[in-house]
Amino acid sequence: MFCTNCGSQIPESSNFCTGCGTPARRGGSAQPAAPISHPAPQPPAATFLPSVGISADVARTSAYSTSADPAPAPAGSKCTWCGAVLDGRQVSCPQCGATTGIKALTTDSHWSKLPGRKDMAKLQFGKSFCQIEGKYVPVADMNLAAGDSVYFTHHVLLWKDPQINVTTMSLAGAWKRMFAGLPLIMTQASGPGHIAFSHDAPGELIALPLHPGQTVDVREHLFLTATSSVVYDWFQTNVWFTTRNNNETETHYPVGMFMDRFAAPQVPGLLLLHAAGNVFVRELAQGQTILVKPSALIFKDPSVQMHLHLEQPGSFFGGWNSWNNWSNRYMWLRLFGPGRVAVQSVFNPIEGESRSISSYSYATLQRW
């Protein structure tokens, strides 16, 4: 018998999954027989839900009562998030942890919400497992098999088994010493053993299983951890503007000076990111554009081009001469398809945006 939540194999006699504690389902019906489970599984009432506010559908799909669990997606169907083929028994996608069998939530404007994930959902990479725990600040709890390893920037480490050795990644590893252009120390942990990671902001954990040949560009500081099969590289964003204050010229980088690029050249890999707030993803068609706040960008396909876009609302007073003295204008990042883009709902103001701009990287302009 297999657990409907995490997919672990469990003895026929057990009432609960030995892996995640989900009540075991036999023949489709829950049989709570443990001494403490007196009440029958209750229907999901509003007050019953661990609704965390920051992700309503996540809360809905993680109701603990088994009767609230959606049926697993049919065999042969694909995970709406990562495309993994499902075997019809899994309630959570084994590759990204997304709850299967529920419809993807897409807005009228075609932004899709990150699919819900059950608390304690488990995903597999290589011979290792990753369990994702918690709703406000999710923790990636890795069970590394012997021979498997992950790398991370060391300030995201939450806890580890004492026997797991954390080492500085060797230069031969699949990363560059300069992380996003800075001499940041990349650390590596090798199995066997448990190690867990979390970021220090409320938000969502994004699991991106990379298929062979797949590459993704990620804005700096969002990286949590990746399997050692994922190759790390970085590039200059070439998105900047300068402001002048008397004789001082300052250069600003609204999406960061550098961007991280992760690729899985030959073998699949797993990339975990942490985004603040909620996450929305959208597929841009060839030539389709969208304007986003620069610091809201999480990741994009390399095929998506980006540059600045400056917009000034129409005014009764302003003429052409007001162009350089922006008191009322908007600065955007213009994304240009084809490809996938992801944004987060928490973003920071652009530093220097309101000052006098003296020069800028390639930008499209819009004056109303």
Partner 1 sequence: MNPNVNPAAGAPAGDFEHIQCQWCQSMNAKAATTCRACGAPLDIRNLVSDSGWREAPRLRDMTEFQFNSSTCQVEGEIVPVAEINLGQGDAIFFEHHVMLWKDEGVPLSVLPLSGGLARAFGGMPFVISVASGPGRIAFSRDATGELAVLPLHPGMELDVREHAFLLSSHQITYSFVRVKGLTNILFGGQGMYMDRFVTTGAPGLLILHGYGNVFERVLRPGESIMVEPGAFLYKDSSVTMNVEFQRLGTGLFGGTNMSLARMTGPGRVGIQSMYVHHHTGE
Please report how close the Cβ of residue 176 comes to partner 1 at its closest, in angstroms. Answer: 12
Query: How many Cα neighbours within 13 Å face the side chain of 271?
Result: 25
Scanning the chain, the segments in alpha helix (DSSP H) are: 56-61
- Yes or no: say if 48 and 42 are a contact pair by the CB < 8 Å rule: yes
Helix (H) or strand (E) holding 126: none
Shortest reach from residue 279's CB to partner 1, in Å: 16
176 binds partner 1 (CB under 8 A): no
User: Shortest distance, CB of residue 47 to partner 1, whole angstroms?
Assistant: 6
Residues 213 and 303: beta-carbon distance below 8 Å: no
To the nearest whole angstrom, how small is the minimum distance from the Cβ of residue 167 to partner 1?
Answer: 8
Q: Using DSSP bridges, classify how beta strands 193-197 and 139-144 pair: parallel, antiparallel or unpaired.
A: antiparallel
Q: Could you say which residues in the range 43-82 bind partner 1, by CB under 8 A? A: 47-48, 50-54, 64-65
| CB closer to partner 1 out of 34 and 85 | 34
Cis-peptide, bond into residue 302, ω within 30° of zero: no
Site string for partner 1, 92-121 (x = CB under 8 A): ---------------------------xx-
3-state helix, strand, coil in the chain (%, to 5): 5, 40, 55
| Beta-strand relationship, 231-236 and 258-264 | antiparallel
353 is an interface residue for partner 1 by CB under 8 A: no
The span of 38-46, 240-248, 255-263, 325-333 binding partner 1 (CB under 8 A) equals: 38-46
Mark the segment that binds partner 1 (CB under 8 A) among 32-40, 282-290, 305-313, 335-343. Answer: 32-40
Question: Which pair of structure tokens corresponds to residue 321?
Answer: 């001469």
Residues contributing to the site for partner 1 (CB under 8 A): 16, 19-23, 34-39, 42, 47-48, 50-54, 64-65, 119-120, 122, 129, 131, 133-139, 141, 143, 154, 157-162, 164, 166-168, 177, 183, 185, 187, 194, 196, 198-202
